[in-house]
Amino acid sequence: MTDLNATILAGMSDTALRTALASLQKALIDLSLGQKAVTVSYTQGNGARSVSYGQTDSARITAQIVAIQTQLGIGRGRRPIHFRF
């Protein structure tokens, strides 16, 4: 299990994470529709960040979306059921 306090996203508020998540999801949609480059901007603890993605970066965008969703607790499935005898 990942320690959510040890990730690079740990210092961001839920509001900032949700804003970044929405930007990344829009960027992924824009890339899949054929736009050449997408720029995503967000604020993280010590200042503003801006990242540009090209067509080949959809896997990186998806990985970042998953990381933010994990930090926010979105998309977690049910706990596994363990039987003890």
Q: How confident is the model over 26-78, as pLDDT tens digits? A: 888 887 877 656 677 777 777 777 777 766 678 888 888 999 998 888 876 66
Q: What's the pLDDT band for 7 if we cut at 50, 70, 90?
A: confident
**Any domain includes 16:** yes
Determine, yes or no, domain membership for 79.
no
At residue 73, the 3 state secondary structure works out as: coil
What is the number of structural domains in the chain?
A: 1
Q: Residue 34 maps to which CATH number? A: 3.30.1580
What is the domain extent for residue 43? 4-72
Give domain status of residue 84, yes or no. no
Residue 9 has pLDDT above 70, yes or no: yes
Cβ atoms within 10 Å of 24's Cβ, excluding its own: 25
Number of neighbouring beta carbons within 10 Å of residue 9: 16
Torsion over CA: 27, 7, 12, 15 (sign): positive
Q: Is residue 8 part of a domain?
A: yes
Residue 80 included in any domain: no
Q: Give the 3-state secondary structure of residue 10.
A: coil
| pLDDT grade for 21, boundaries at 50, 70 and 90 | very high
Using 50, 70 and 90 to split pLDDT, how confident is the model at 18? very high
Helices (H), the chain: 14-32, 58-72
